[in-house]
Amino acid sequence: MVRKAYKFKNNNQGLVVTFLVAVIILTWFSYILPRFLPGDFVTAAYSTSQVTLTAEQETALRNYYGQDEGFGQYLSRVIRFDWGYSYVFETPVSVLFFSALPWTILLMGSAHVISMLMGFVAGVEAAWRRNSSFEKGMVGGMTVLEGIPEICSGVILLFVFALQLQWFPAAGAETAYAEKNFLAYVVDVGHHLVLPLCTLVLAYFPGNFLLTRNSMMMVIMADYIKTARAKGLPPLRIRYVHAARNALLPVVTRFGMRLAFMITGALVVEKINSYPGVGTLLYNAISARDLPVIQSVVLMSSVIILAIFFALEFVYRIIDPRIQYAR
């Protein structure tokens, strides 16, 4: 037991060291990759204007905006939590990022939780009723739905329910300049959330369903499930206490991976619905070659992805304690 506890402690320390090394590597990537984009902020800002810059003026502007900053200076700023100023908005990047992040968390978090719960329950029930009309219909429908890209379903929902029927707003996350109490504000935010949320749920639900069903199909054939049936345990208890928990690991992995990529995954849907999240912020920054915003969003997205992957290691041990002591 002492040996296993020592091994567990060493594994945790190794994870922390690996995480710190990975953060440094990701910081370098966040510095270097945006610089491979064609053009820069000066070119993007003045290419469509009537002003013609001399070579000296372009060099002076690039120096002013700090585009010749070295990696050492950039790393020093990151360590001090100084993300710089946006070229376009002339606002601290941290203010822009943390103003947009809650909207992305609201949208993507809700979509992931709803689609995972729906997919998990539907997948468990379909696997339990294998070869039934319900299972065949669900598998066929979800297979077709899985092949529809987010941009397609998003545009269809927007056209039908926002532009034609006008049931929901076509853009934004809230009604601007409207004085509302707290309850009215929550209702207004929820009203704006419906279309982008439905787009993401339609995109994520089929995959969660198919993965859960396939995982459950293997679990329900195990000997311990046959033993539980032979003992006369209630079918609902067998499904969700004995079988579903052991089918949960692949679903949690998919949930974590989807959640990790929530910032970049939200880009298309946020842009279609003009939703003011981090995806929209990144898209606008890339269009304007706003280097400090691009670097910060790329870095924070990478760190969030890395943190969730490491958190999954501990979640796995809770779901399946055997992983903790595996050699």
DSSP structure string for 105-170: HHHHHHHHHHHHHHHHHHHHHHHHTTTSHHHHHHHHHHHHHHTS-HHHHHHHHIIIIIIIS--S-S
Residue with the larger pLDDT of the pair 192 and 324: 192
- What's the rounded Cα separation, in Å, for the pair 211 and 226? 22
Task: Map residue 35 onto helix, strand or coil.
Answer: helix
C-alpha Rg value of the chain to the nearest Å: 24
Residue with the larger pLDDT of the pair 309 and 41: 309
With contact defined as beta carbons under 8 Å apart, do 316 and 249 qualify?
yes
91 Cβ contact list (under 8 Å, min separation 6): 85
Q: Which pLDDT belongs to residue 195?
A: 92
- Give the number of other CB atoms < 10 A from CB of residue 5: 10
> % helix / strand / coil in the chain, to the nearest 5?
75, 0, 25
Q: Which pLDDT belongs to residue 2?
A: 45
The structure tokens listed for 5 are 């506890």
Across 66-80, 175-189, 201-215, 295-309, which has the greatest mean pLDDT?
201-215
The structure tokens listed for 294 are 């691009």
What mean pLDDT value characterizes the chain? Answer: 78
Residue with the larger pLDDT of the pair 241 and 5: 241
Residue 322 has pLDDT above 70, yes or no: no
- Lowest mean per-residue pLDDT among 14-23, 114-123, 149-158: 14-23
Yes or no: domain 2-36+69-325 corresponds to CATH 1.10.3720.10: yes
Q: Which pLDDT belongs to residue 325?
A: 53
Q: Which pLDDT belongs to residue 44?
A: 60
Band (175; pLDDT cuts 50, 70, 90) = confident
- What's the rounded Cα separation, in Å, for the pair 177 and 217? 53
Residue with the larger pLDDT of the pair 262 and 48: 262
Q: Which pLDDT belongs to residue 142?
A: 87
Average pLDDT score over residue span 302-321: 72
Q: In this predicted model, what pLDDT tens digit does every residue of 46-58 receive, in sequence order?
A: 655 566 666 666 6
Q: In this predicted model, what pLDDT tens digit does every residue of 130-164 receive, in sequence order?
A: 888 888 888 888 888 888 888 888 889 989 998 88
188 Cβ contact list (under 8 Å, min separation 6): 174, 175, 178, 180
The ranges assigned to domains in the chain are 2-36+69-325
Which residues does residue 92 pair with via DSSP β-bridges, in sequence order? Answer: 85
Residue 320 has pLDDT above 50, yes or no: yes
- What's the rounded Cα separation, in Å, for the pair 192 and 177? 15
Band (6; pLDDT cuts 50, 70, 90) = very low
Closest by alpha carbon to 205, among 146, 136, 153, 126? 146
Calculate the CA dihedral of residues 58, 63, 64, 67 and round it to 10 degrees. Answer: 100
Q: Which pLDDT belongs to residue 220?
A: 80
